[in-house]
Structure 1
Amino acid sequence: MSPITEFYSEKTIFITGATGYMGKVLLEKLVRSLPEIKKIYILLRPKKGCSPQERLKKLTDDVIFTFHDMNAKAYDKIEVISGDVSKENFELSEVDKKKLIEEVSIVFHLAACVRMDLPLKEAVITNTKSTYQLFKFCVNMKALKSVVHLSTAFCNVEIMNAEEKIYSMDLDPYKIIDLVEWMDDKSLNNITKRLLGPHPNTYTFTKRLSEMIAMDMNDKIPLIISRPSIVFPAIKEPIPGWVDNLNGPIGLFYAGGKGIVRSGIIDENLVPQIIPVDVAINSLIVSGYERATNMYCDRVINVSCGDVLRPTWRDMFVTFQYLAIKYPYKLILWYPKPHLTTSYYLYIINVILFQILPAIIIDFLLIIFLQKPFLINIQKRLLLTWKVLRPFTTKKWIFSNTNFLKLHEKLNTYDSNVFYIIENFEENKFRKYCKDCFKTANKYLLKETLENLSLYRIRNKILFVLDLLIKVFFIYFVLKWIFVKHF
């Protein structure tokens, strides 16, 4: 018997952010593992030239919904609601508004922009105002049992040992929303750094503001906050290693495997605070059940397995480097061996010598042969990526996850198998996980095949020798210059 399956049976669910990475995994999991759900409404912004049914078909035609060969009727219960979550009442039609108010029992609020370089105005409207609008709308829902708000474990960046509670700031989130709506962009840019305080970017700042609004609304709606740490590819479902983008650390692993990234600013001895996406999604589903069935449950959950996933950043980079050498990419720039350092100046020297200068030379040659240059633009994006990730790859955070572990302890045998939220990573399991991530991304994102591996391995050996020779010659000329200059 499954208490969770029984709870969700004949319930109507409302999801924001269903087209995002986590949103798609949540939608697929709900349809497949909870077949007795009555209806799933997903909010999509209006799009010219594309009807709600066409947008839904495009979503469910995504490869993630094909892995388990489910009957097409399984998706009949998904219905699009046209609206904008950042607007008052989502700018819904009266018919759609009535559906949600009368029918919805569980809300999963995943809509947000995870870009960390968004201007403050856009980030506040997209991440904070939208959350406030959703919570206000939920107050009117007549059958509401729980609202699961997706936050981030890094929303309290100045707290190195974060407990499962809401930390306030000396700012009023409602006044910040008003501020960004009336202030001009130039003036807002001038005060952004001061407003952010300890926050390294607008993403963590706006998520912090959203949690403060959640705390304020907690007595009006049945809220529970889920805080995943760094979301990594799936460990099991929908298939092992599944990811639909190369953002964040995962993208850097693959860029390193292609020889595009030659240096990284990272503390290689730190254990990264990560969570596989399917584990994070299962915790959302279980959290929705827990909040609805236990009014005295804890309202904030740090979703991270950093305390059970022991491999370090170095272990991850080394493992992906090994895989890139064993299963070489068809097209690479150089031998895959990035240098990791915590020194910003050493990182910049390595980037200039081994990334930017080669990129300039190759782009120049491409222009000469009437080809489109591209490497300088890639290097610009990589520099921005490292700038954004640096606080998360060089600092040590500890996230207390007592409430997260409690969720697992309450699951019976059936539910712990279907909605697994704890995965221990032994060394062999970790290597298999990395291999699954590598091969799945190669197949579905990079469109790589296993053809001509022997030829590509020979090419990599040649590049290894060239890489070694260039470094030897570089050291030789530097020492020679020092000797001539000073002696």
Structure 2
Amino acid sequence: MEGSVQFSEIQHFYKNSTVFLTGATGFVGKLVLEKLLRQCHVKHVYLLIREKDGVDAETRCANIFDGTAFDPLRRIDPEFFKKVSLIAGDCEKPDLGLSELDKASLIKEVEFIFHCAANTKLDATLREATNVNVRATRDLLNIAKEAENLKAFVFISTIFSNFTKFEIHEEIYESKISGENLINVANALNDTILEQVQLSLLSDWPNNYTFTKQVAEGVMKEEGKNIPTSMIRAAHIIPAVEEPCAGYVENVYSLSGLAVANALGVNRVNYYKNGNLDVIPVDYVVSQLIASGWYAGLQKLRKKRGDITSTEVLVYHCTTSQEKPLTSDEWMGVTETASREVPSAKMIRLPLTFNTACYYNFKLLTFIFHTFMGFLCDMRSKLAGRNSTIVEGYKRLHHLQEQASPYFFKQWYISNDNAQKLLKRMSFKDRELFNFDVLTINWELYFSNFARGLRVYIMKDPMSTLAEGRKKLKRKLKIQLLSAAFLVVFLYVISKVILFRVIFR
């Protein structure tokens, strides 16, 4: 059957190849794995997975395939998992924690490396972020240099890696400190001294994640000079447009996490300044990663033929701000509206938020609508003999909002010329199979699927409970209106009493 299939140029390039993938337990890495197996017909994929939170690497590997993301692939090839092998390792360790035997196997067999692993925690320590984002990248590039049959090395970064700039082009900028020096500093100093060093290194950066990603890009430029290498800088990654299914999402951090808090009625206050909000659906990121690997491999072939003398790291931006811009106001408004169209049966309060760009207003409003109300609910829970966790939950929400605020209060011009050129180099069939053309996004349809995706995949609330959710929304709306009416009457009576006493005192 496979012999009768007409493969596209990109499919043919990856067909029957061996891939090494890091970050397969993450949102992007998992979907890269799914698409490589489903559409690229690769022969074998090695996954680097570590033990985490008491769950061994084998169990974590098996858990990858259990979710909805692999349903389309499972229908085509029920035994797809036989093409996947686990390699125990850890990006936090030197040489990614690989054994000499595993390293030798990778050097001998691997043709493509997709490096999707990263420490994306905005509150990670400098040592944690450096070891995963910088040292692991360097060590993996060293393995790539030795690989006997390497066709391409593909790396994912973030457009916020150059947070301090206002114009960001598809090139690698010089970092404040070299990767080698940062690795040495992070692992030689104790925590107290490292915190002091961090203050000077991160003077203009919002967190260790964006800073170490920028340093890692410098490592890519130095160590990836003469190997076929591509790098994707992605914007805020949001749920899928179409693949593996419309609205698919796993990431509960950043924009998706805030949208869930709004949809459940947990959040009452959004803290941001209106401006362009650069987002990108996850399936567009995955397609661009795979397409960029194809083109990087072509450059190796050109060099081998003598058409070019050297290869540089190819940098591509994966964004929407140039062709399909959204503002923060549009995002907040449409996500709230969409969530009301498919209300969750797990809704706690009516989805209703206040928006502010003033930090003091944010603190005041969150105290009134979150902390104070949470305190009253916790007191009621304690009196009933139940656990009280609402105030602590709101502390985490406020921490997330403050961590995300730098991205909402700064604007960038982000070019995407290289990404457009890459798209034009692809055949019509490849542009269908590996679509990352943001002009094809229908935002109205997208946000309808977005709300459903959050409901089903994050809130774990199936669409079968939609009728119950709508009843709950109507009930919450009535309660809200009655509460507002009571408050108006109460304030009116109080003001009359006070006024009467002033006049007739």
TM-score category (smaller protein):
over 0.9
Q: Give the deviation of 1:454 after TM superposition.
A: 4.5
Contact (CA 8 Å) 2:169, 2:415: kept in 1 or not? yes
> Paired residue for 2:295, among 281, 290, 298?
290
**Equivalent runs, 1:65-464 vs 2, <5 Å:** 65-68=70-73, 69-268=75-274, 270-295=275-300, 299-424=314-439, 429-448=442-461, 449-464=465-480
CA change 1:481–1:302 in 2 (3 A) is farther
Q: What is the distance in 2 between the residues matched to 1:180 and 1:50?
A: 28
Paired with 1:108 and 1:10, the residues of 2 have a C-alpha distance of: 16
The letter of the residue matching 1:463 is I
1:480 CA drift (Å): 9.3
Name the CA shift for 1:153/1:367 in 2 (closer, same or farther; >3 Å): same
Partners of 1:253 and 1:48 in 2: how far apart? 27
Q: Matched residues, percent identical?
A: 27
Structure 1 portions without partners, runs of 5+: none
Q: Distance in 2 between matches of 1:407 and 1:480?
A: 70
Deviation digits for residues 358-410 of structure 1 (CA, Å, limit 9, x no counterpart): 01111111111111112112111111111111011121122100011111111
Q: Residue type of the partner of 2:186? A: V
Kept in 1, the 8 Å contact 2:95–2:139? The answer is yes
Tell me by how many angstroms 1:258 deviates: 1.8
C-alpha spacing 1:209/1:361, structure 2 compared with 1 (3 Å): same
Q: 1:52 to 1:343 in 2, by over 3 A?
A: closer
Deviations 1:226-259 (A, max 9, x none): 1001000000100011001321111111211222
- TM-score, with length taken from structure 2: 0.89
Q: 1:125-153, CA deviations, whole angstroms, 9 ceiling, x for partnerless residues?
A: 12111111111121111111211111111
> What secondary structure is seen at the aligned counterpart in 1 of 2:242?
coil
Instruction: Single out whichever of 45-54 and 58-67 deviates more from structure 2.
Output: 45-54
CA distance in 1, matches of 2:494, 2:182: 54
Deviation by residue 1:268-320 (Cα, 9 ceiling, x = unmatched): 3x221011000001000001001110255761111112222233222222222
Q: Whole-Å Cα distance in 2 between the matches of residues 221 and 482 of structure 1?
A: 79
Aligned CA distance change for structure 1 residues 48 and 397 (closer, same or farther; 3 Å): closer
The alpha carbon displacement at 1:92 in A equals 2.7
Residues 457/117 of structure 1: CA separation in 2 closer, same or farther (3 Å cut): same
1:72 counterpart SS class: coil
Question: Which runs of 5 or more residues in structure 2 are unaligned?
Answer: 1-6, 301-310
**CA pair 292-115 structure 1, distance change in 2 beyond 3 A:** same
RMSD: 2.6
SS at match of 2:373: helix
CA contact (8 A) 2:93 2:131 kept: no
Cα 1:479/1:13, change in 2 over 3 Å: farther
TM-score, normalised to structure 1, is: 0.92
Q: Tell me if the contact between 2:278 and 2:326 (Cα under 8 Å) persists in the aligned partners.
A: no
Is the contact made by 1:258 and 1:331 (CA closer than 8 Å) also made in structure 2? yes
Offset at 1:50? 7.0
1:194-237 deviation per Cα after TM superposition (whole angstroms, max 9, x unaligned): 11121100000000110111111132432221100100000010
- Greater Cα shift, 438-447 or 177-186: 438-447
Letter in 2 for 1:62: G
How many residues align? The count is 482
C-alpha displacement of 1:54: 4.5
CA contact (8 A) 1:335 1:464 kept: yes
Q: Give the Cα–Cα distance (whole angstroms) in 1 for the partners of residues 242 and 467 of structure 2.
A: 26
- Cα 1:232–1:49 change in 2 (3 A) is closer
Q: Aligned to 1:252, what secondary structure does the other structure show?
A: helix
